[in-house]
Amino acid sequence: MLKGKKILIGITGSIAAYKIPFIIRLLKKAGAEVQVIMTPMACDFITPLTLSTLSERPVLVDFYDKGDGSWHSHVDLGLWADLYLLAPVTANTMAKMVAGIADNLLLTTVLSARCPLLFAPAMDLDMYQHPTTQNNVKRLMEFGYQLIEPTKGELASGLHGFGRLEEPEVIFQRIVTYLSDNKPLTGKKCLVTAGPTYEPIDPVRFIGNFSSGLMGIEVANALADLGAKVQLVLGPSSLEVSHPDIEVTKVTTSEQMLSACLKYFSSSYITVMAAAVADFKPTIVADKKIRKADKLSTLELEPTTDILTSLGKTKRDNQLLIGFALETNQEEAHAIEKLTAKNLDMIVLNSLNDAGAGFGYSTNKITLLKTVGEKITFPLKSKKEVAVDIVNAILSLKSQPK
Ligand code: CTP
């Protein structure tokens, strides 16, 4: 898979450095050449001996070898690499990268490297959420560096939140996809919806749902990883989208989501509607806050437009349209009904009866139902992995469009 590819791995001083040997093993198994550079602090977390044994190359820490005095050229290293992975990267190193500081070999090589750079932060949740760190992450992305976002979970400090280094298999896959010469969706446009919609009742209240937007965002990431230019129409969500090939249109109401989808649908090869769109909205939106004294006892609602059905009506033969079905009973029967009624090529069914599936979880358990009658059931996985399964199934639906 990676035969002949040259990969530089820069390791900084974070406890997550213990995960890097797994990445090196995966890369070596895939045929890549791996050169490790460490900051001096990183050597306190994992020994250079472990890393040089696995990478089959001496690990570089200093600008020159104190034994024989030989010089380690950051320029040569930068020219040698097909990809530079910084993992784990600390808040300190990111801040130095933004400032252009080059006070160690790892950082100096960042400035010399001509190849793509992927950076995978790992730190405690408050450090990662700090405005300075967040600004630095954004700046690094503006430089064209690709972020491998930390995940949520238990941290070395015992706290719980965002800051865990992404899993070695996922980082490895990102590298494979990035270096792959024939990405199947290169030059294709895709449309994805994600998140809830909010239907206002008055200036301070709305009808909404618990969707976080994560499933749709991961589908957008998986499509973009395969070379697609993705238009993501995102309802109110607190999640960040960092892929350089995803353009985000933020919307609030189902009506806004509908008009954004109508704008992008006709030029889109694959459309995946993962958003949890409200089915009803208040008939009248009060222009002033409704007071307790108003004694409101009922709320008159009217149906929203079914966006997916509208798109299904104008779908051409060279387009693929995929919907979601979140069900609580007679799951499969309801999903199949939607598949036909909405003129879809495939529907992603998740049942709220499955533990760990649906809103609010970072995992999901899906069944894919295709128009051709095929059904594939998957075990519980992270939403990132589920998104890859969905996109792989989409690619198997049809050959490339006319
Ligand atoms: N959908 C949509 N517009 C709506 C409602 C739903 O585009 N106004 C899309 C969703 O994005 C999803 C699919 O339709 O891809 C199915 O949504 P779901 O809520 O499961 O089903 P509904 O069609 O709304 O039917 P019901 O609520 O009766 O199950």
Concerning whether 209 is annotated as a catalytic residue, the answer is yes
**Ligand 1 within 6 A of 308 CB?**
yes
3-state DSSP assignment of residue 289: coil
Percentage of the chain with pLDDT > 70?
Answer: 99
Residue 311 CA: nearest ligand 1 atom is: 7
Of 392, 345, 387, 396, residue with least CA distance to 369: 345
State residue 294's pLDDT score: 87
Q: Is the CB of 245 under 6 A from ligand 1?
A: no
> Does residue 144 carry a pLDDT above 60?
yes
CA distance readout (Å), 210 to 5, 236, 277, 308, 359: 43, 11, 11, 20, 6
Whether 239 shows a pLDDT value over 90: the answer reads yes
pLDDT tens profile 292-342: 888 889 999 999 999 999 999 999 999 999 999 999 899 999 999 999 999
Dist CA 348 CA 260 (whole Å): 22
At residue 269, does pLDDT exceed 60? yes
Q: Give the SS3 label for residue 154.
A: strand
What percent of the chain has a predicted confidence (pLDDT) above 90? 75
pLDDT of residue 318: 93
Ligand 1 atom closest to the Cα of residue 278 is: 8
- Average pLDDT across the chain, whole number: 93
Distance 274 CA to ligand 1 centre (A): 9
Measured in Å, residue 285 CA sits from the centre of ligand 1 at 23
Q: Is residue 401 scored above 60 in pLDDT?
A: no
What is the Cα 248 distance to its own chain's centre?
Answer: 13
* CB of 82 closer than 6 angstroms to any ligand 1 atom: no
Residue nearest to atom 4 of ligand 1 (CA): 306
Helix (H, G, I), strand (E, B) or coil at 104: coil
Where in the chain are all domains bearing CATH 3.40.50.10300?
Answer: 189-397
pLDDT digits (tens, 9 = 90+) for 111-124: 999 899 999 999 99
Which residues are CB-contacts of 150 (< 8 A; sequence separation ≥ 6)? 120, 121, 122, 123, 128, 162, 163, 164, 165, 166
CA distance 361 to 85: 29
Give the mean model confidence (pLDDT) for residues 222-244.
94
Ligand 1 pocket test, candidate residues 307, 342, 347, most atoms within 8 A of CB: 307
Of ligand 1's listed atoms, the one at least distance from the Cα of 303 is 8
Burial of 101 (0-12, 13-18, 19+ CB in 10 A): middle
Could you tell which of 197, 277, 394 is best to mutate to test the pocket of ligand 1, judged by most ligand atoms within 8 Å of the CB? 277
Q: Establish whether residue 306 lines the binding site of ligand 1, counting it when its CB lies within 6 angstroms of any ligand atom.
A: yes
C-alpha 364 chain-centroid distance = 15
Mean pLDDT confidence for 127-144: 91
Residue whose CA is closest, atom 8 of ligand 1?
306
Would you identify the CATH topology of the domain 6-179? Rossmann fold (3.40.50)
pLDDT value at 399 more than 80? no
Task: Locate CATH 3.40.50.1950 in the chain.
Answer: 6-179
Contact 324, 350 (CB under 8 A): yes
The larger pLDDT score, comparing residue 372 to residue 205, is at 205
Average pLDDT value for residue range 131-142: 91
pTM for this predicted structure: 0.74
Q: Where are the alpha helices (DSSP H) in 57-130?
A: 74-80, 91-99, 105-112, 125-129
Contacts of residue 43, defined as CB under 8 A and 6 or more positions apart, other chains included, come to: 61
Ligand 1 centroid from CA 227, angstroms: 28
Atom of ligand 1 nearest to the CA of 309: 7
3-state secondary structure of 335: helix
Token pair belonging to 399: 């050959």
- The DSSP bridge pattern shows strands 229-234 and 246-250 to be parallel
54 CB within 6 A, ligand 1: no
Set 209, 318, 343, 364: catalytic member: 209
C-alpha dihedral (156, 158, 164, 168), degrees to nearest 10: 60
Residue 53, pLDDT > 50, answer yes
Mean pLDDT within 389-401: 76
Give the relative orientation of helices 91-99 and 131-142 as an angle to the nearest 10 degrees: 50
* 324, containing H or E segment: strand 320-327
pLDDT band at 73 (very low <50, low <70, confident <90, very high): confident
Other C-beta atoms closer than 10 Å to the C-beta of 13 total 19
Q: Which CATH superfamily hosts domain 189-397? A: CoaB-like (3.40.50.10300)
Regarding beta strands 320-327 and 270-273, do their DSSP bridges make them parallel or antiparallel, or are they unpaired?
A: parallel
Pocket test for ligand 1, best of 258, 281, 338, 359 (most atoms within 8 A of CB): 338
Residue 302 backbone class (left: φ over 0; alpha: ψ -120 to 50; beta: rest):
beta
The span from the CA of 175 to the CA of 155, in Å, is: 24
pLDDT confidence bin for 398, thresholds 50/70/90? low
pLDDT for 70 beyond 90: no
Which ligand 1 atom is the nearest neighbour of the CA of 304?
A: 8
400 has a pLDDT exceeding 60: no
Between CA 132 and CA 139, with CA 133 as vertex, the angle to 5 degrees is 90
Q: What is the pLDDT of residue 193?
A: 98
